[in-house]
A and B are shown apart, each in its own frame.
Chain A
Amino acid sequence: MTNKMITLTIDGIQVTVPEGTNIVDAAKKAGIDIPVFCYHPKMKPVGMCRMCLVEVGRPVVDRNTGEFVRNEDGSLKIQFNPKLETGCTTLVSEGMVVINTSDKVKRGRKDILEFLLTSHPLDCPICDKGGECPLQNLTMAHGPGTSRFLFDEKKHLLKHYPLGELIYLDQERCIQCGRCIRFQEELVDDPVIGFSQRGRSLQIVTFSEPGFDSIFSGNTTDICPVGALTTADFRFGARPWELNAAASICQQCAVGCNLTLNVRREAAAGGKVVIKRVMPRQNEWVNEIWICDKGRFGYHYTEAPERLTQPLIRKEGELVPVSWEEALGFVAERFRQAGKGLLTLASGRLSNEDLFNLRKLSEGLGGKIALYTQMSGGEQVMQVGLAKESNLAELGQGDAILVIASDLHQEAPIWWLRVKQAAERGATLIVAHPRPTRLEKFAKHVLRYRYGDEAGLLLAMLNSLSAKRPALPERVSTLWRDDQVQAAAKAFAEAQNAVIFFGNEGVGLQASQALAQACLNLLLATNHAGRPNNGLIPVWQRPNDQGAWELGWRPLPNLDEAISQANAIYVVACDPAGDNPTLPLTPDFLVVQDLFLTATAKLAHVVLPALPFTEREGSLVNGERRVQRYYPAVPPRPSARADFTITGQLGKLLGIDLEDRLASKVMLRIAAEVPAFSGITYTALAYAPEQWPIIGREDLYYGGTTYENKQGIGVQLPNALQQGEQVTLTWPSLAQATEINGGLLAVPVTKLYDSGSTLVHSKLLDQRRVAAVLWIHPDEAAAHAVQEGDLVHLQFGEASAMATAILDKTVPQGVILLPRSAGIPLLEPCAAQLKVVERSYER
């Protein structure tokens, strides 16, 4: 990209834009809408639909002098192209004159529309896009009132063609702009849909298994300029103009994509206000205009009938409904008695406001708090996390990104997309993982290590860069001499800006602390911390794990012990008993606050029903340390309360001063107390600057139906370096490799569609949900007499599980991979023994 600016005139308005801009974008910047169908500002122009025709004139240049020729009055002499030109494929040039409103242009558009409508049904009254459809709008503006084509000779095609179980195609409505196909190919590298046939028979097809096999498929329904693509979730659900919109934040991973929840009051739901669909909301710093299908379809848990509706107290062995007054009074009394013996266990599923109140309550009583997580490293992120003023979209040529121990495609899809795009812009991508992942295709350096060696690998990279070489454990002691490690380290060190993403695949809680420290060392030693577009990004499993760390929550290295010592345990938004059935969770008093009657709740003395994010407000800190707020979308179910409110009310009863009514006021307290949050208010979080591309306004043809962001892009926290603190290198002690005693190393891996309590209620995803399986290398399988499809009994320590074997050459030797949250109680890598219990002979 050059910085050269070009000035041109569009409909008499002077516009100055960077060289390389096309006419459509230049016009948009000047507030002029040129209709498009195939062009989309996030994709390369292809000039397929001809909707964007404009008149273009260029200044006449004197061939001898190279100067512009002038008219007598001194103005530039302009020569117009006798034919109309496509504004999307024509780049601006100095002195250009564009006319978008002449009769000639109007006639051109009218003709193109007539062509597009030769077989289009114009069944807007029953079309899901009706009301937000560019084709409908343009037909109203330019289109002929009647068709010159005989209705009987119009082409009739399938109206409900499932491309998969998630996305439906109406073949008649498709205007063959190719946006969906290009999105799948260019942007998300899932070329699973394409054109088949030719001419008027051209149709979208898919041959993938399952159909339309892409975790980003929903986005095509936003950018499809007509009602050809619709989601199974929303089709025939409501008319767009009946919907209200509430700004929200996705709670399914640490990216924190901005959402708009469309809601409506409807008879079908007994007169209640319900969520009809989840749409992306533009935030060019976070998710641009996209979301993944987990974010789009995963919200159904918030409205599940199984949700807890009333406080429960155990009486004579049974949990029975009671009033809030009784429940809170009882809990407060028991917490007072427990005092120092109170342990509060909460997870990053909660908002900042909830976590702050919970900590304050516990502190007020002298109790302990513990963050429920399997991954550590939040402190290092507070020190050298992605710096304030960063935007991954700015990484490109000359920059580097290192991704270690994370399969971003499955764990944080939108980060996968943004990292891929940075690599395509020229950033050096280094992917370090024990097995191949989807990101590797775009990497310049691929580092393969053994599970357990992740921190060692980073320290080896550091060793290869410096003369001082602290000794490393045997397993990794010579790694620094490896050519590939050296090359990757050099590329990382020489990069202008560099970012590290670290996850926890194959890394236990303790080891992830060392991994984070190793990341910090590498960033600090190569001067990639404390400046915009540099720093560390944790791939947390929950949306607000980072917020929990910022607000003083830490995982306990020995949770079992803390649990057995506590007199009273307050478990909020986590299910330790469900995750680990062997956990000794038998305190004198157990309170569970959650949305569902979890396995832990079933053991509790008191159960308090909380509200999901859709029925309250709050704020989260994403992995990029951006604080973002979400708004209530539907009225709260009576009798359930927001977590911070419940905790605040307990505080009142216990004489601890907590805000229990307004989340915004809790944020004021956080800002006053936590330095990184200083200055953050709900108003600051609602700041919404103009973004490019301009989308979501009247002219939905330009960017699609993604919502414009009017409710705030959030605020990034400054890291310790930016706050002027000292951060020093410390050498982490590397954990010993796990003893496996003749068994195999069982490693939990994250798959996007799991059976966790915040996804399992989206029945729509059932076909794509990961089952209780184990992935094993064919050689390893042979060595353990395991065959494809075998039902295998797994023993890890005291816990055991059953899983179906899948042979997979990409699994490293000595290892089995098991999906998280799929019914197998494995939280950390550990040794496992295998025994085949049932063989399927179906094959």
Chain B
Amino acid sequence: MNRLQEKYPTEIENTLAKYPPDQKRAAVMPLLYLAQREYGYISKQALQEISEILDVPVTEIGQLVGFYTLYHDQPGGKYRIQVCTDLPCALRGAEEFLEQLCENLGIRVGETTPDGLITIEAVMCLAGCDRAPLFQVQTAEGLTYHENQSVESAMKLIRTWQSIP
């Protein structure tokens, strides 16, 4: 049973059409995003399905998931808050910001809130060093950036998500 293939035949076909037929493997990144949207993370099952669609060994696809930080091999929250804690951001208080945000949510870095809504992660430079503390939010729909943040502003944002049924 190839769930991706069965659920998204046109989407997959359109993706494949963008690349030469003998270089199907080039479609691996968009398919990984598709899988992440479908499963919430890249499960072993998803790896297998993409491997079948592209005829690329499953381990090669698994390697990519590990290489890129925006693919996740473990289930997480609907919203992944990724706070930069690299040196420049740290100098502008990113570490304290992260700590307090965690306290407010009652979870530790890398964990997910019990309602499955939010996961918090610490990441490397997000190229907004002068506007720290900052974070990006990754959802199935994509990425949004939130700069010059305080714990209050972040919590305000989070409350808007919590009110979405």
Contact = CB atoms under 8 A, between A and B. Distances in A.
A191 B67 contact: no
Interface string A170-214: 000000000000000000000111111110000101111100000
7 contacts: A192-B59, A193-B59, A195-B67, A196-B67, A207-B44, A207-B62, A208-B58
Interface of B: 44, 47, 57-63, 65-67
Given A194-B62, A196-B63, A205-B62, 9 more contacts: A191-B57, A192-B57, A192-B59, A196-B62, A203-B66, A205-B59, A205-B66, A207-B59, A207-B61
A191 B60 contact: yes
A364 B58 CA distance: 61
Nearest to A194: B63
A778 to B, nearest CB: 16
A229 to B, nearest CB: 15
B58 A205 contact: no
Interface size class of A (residues with CB under 8 A): 10 to 19
A195 B64 CA distance: 9
A196 B60 CA distance: 9
Nearest to A195: B63
Contact of A196 (B44, B57, B65): B65
Given A191-B59, A192-B57, A205-B59, A197 B66 contact: yes
A777 B107 CA distance: 54
B60 A194 contact: yes
A122 to B, nearest CB: 26
Contacts of B62: 194, 196, 205-207
Interface string A680-716: 0000000000000000000000000000000000000
Contacts of A203: 66
Nearest to A201: B66
Nearest to B73: A196
A53 B102 CA distance: 47
Residue among B65, B66, B67 with the most chain A CB within 10 A? B66
A208 B58 CA distance: 6
A192 B66 CA distance: 15
A96 to B, nearest CB: 37
Interface string A146-170: 0000000000000000000000000
A196 B59 CA distance: 9
What are the 9 tightest A-B residue pairs by CB atom distance, in nearest-first order? A196-B66, A194-B63, A207-B62, A207-B58, A197-B66, A207-B59, A191-B57, A194-B59, A192-B59
A372 B157 CA distance: 80
A77 B49 CA distance: 62
Contacts of A198: 67
Interface in A781-804: none
Contacts of B44: 207
A48 B61 CA distance: 22
B110 to A, nearest CB: 14
Summarize B's interface: helix, strand, loop or mixed.
Answer: helix
Nearest to B47: A207
Residue among B47, B61, B62, B65 with the most chain A CB within 10 A? B62
A61 to B, nearest CB: 42
A523 B107 CA distance: 74
Contacts, number: 38
A206 B47 CA distance: 12
Contacts of B65: 196
A167 to B, nearest CB: 14
Contacts of A208: 57-59
A205 B63 contact: yes
A205 B60 CA distance: 10
Contacts of B60: 191, 194
Residue among A193, A194, A208 with the most chain B CB within 10 A? A194
Contacts of A191: 57, 59-60
A209 B66 CA distance: 18
Contacts of B57: 191-192, 208
Contacts of A193: 59
Contacts of B67: 195-198
Nearest to A213: B59
Nearest to A202: B66
Residue among B58, B59, B62, B65 with the most chain A CB within 10 A? B59
A39 to B, nearest CB: 22
A641 to B, nearest CB: 49
Nearest to A191: B57
A197 B58 CA distance: 16
Interface in A29-83: none
Nearest to A211: B59
A446 to B, nearest CB: 18
A340 B61 CA distance: 67
Interface in A196-244: 196-198, 203, 205-209
A155 to B, nearest CB: 16
A209 B47 CA distance: 12
Nearest to B62: A207
A829 to B, nearest CB: 32
A551 B132 CA distance: 84
A198 B61 CA distance: 15
A248 to B, nearest CB: 33
Contacts of A196: 62-63, 65-67
A39 B66 CA distance: 25
A191 to B, nearest CB: 5
B30 to A, nearest CB: 20
A192 B60 CA distance: 8
Contacts of A197: 66-67
Contacts of A207: 44, 47, 58-59, 61-62
Nearest to B1: A843
A207 B50 CA distance: 13
Interface in A396-425: none
Nearest to B58: A207
Interface string A534-577: 00000000000000000000000000000000000000000000
Contacts of A209: 58
A206 B66 contact: no
A194 B64 CA distance: 10
Contacts of A195: 63, 66-67
Contacts of A205: 59, 62-63, 66
A206 B58 CA distance: 8
A657 to B, nearest CB: 60
Contacts of B59: 191-194, 205-208
A409 to B, nearest CB: 16
Contacts of A206: 59, 62
Contacts of A194: 59-60, 62-63
B164 to A, nearest CB: 33
A485 to B, nearest CB: 27
A192 B58 CA distance: 8
A203 B66 CA distance: 9
A654 B114 CA distance: 86
A197 B47 CA distance: 16
A194 B65 CA distance: 11
A208 B57 CA distance: 8
A200 to B, nearest CB: 13
A781 B65 CA distance: 38
A193 B59 CA distance: 6
A403 to B, nearest CB: 24
Contacts of B47: 207
Contacts of B66: 195-197, 203, 205
B73 to A, nearest CB: 9
A432 to B, nearest CB: 24
Contacts of B58: 207-209
A81 B41 CA distance: 49
Contacts of B61: 207
Interface string A443-486: 00000000000000000000000000000000000000000000
A315 to B, nearest CB: 59
A804 B51 CA distance: 27
A73 B28 CA distance: 63
A196 B69 CA distance: 11
Nearest to A843: B1
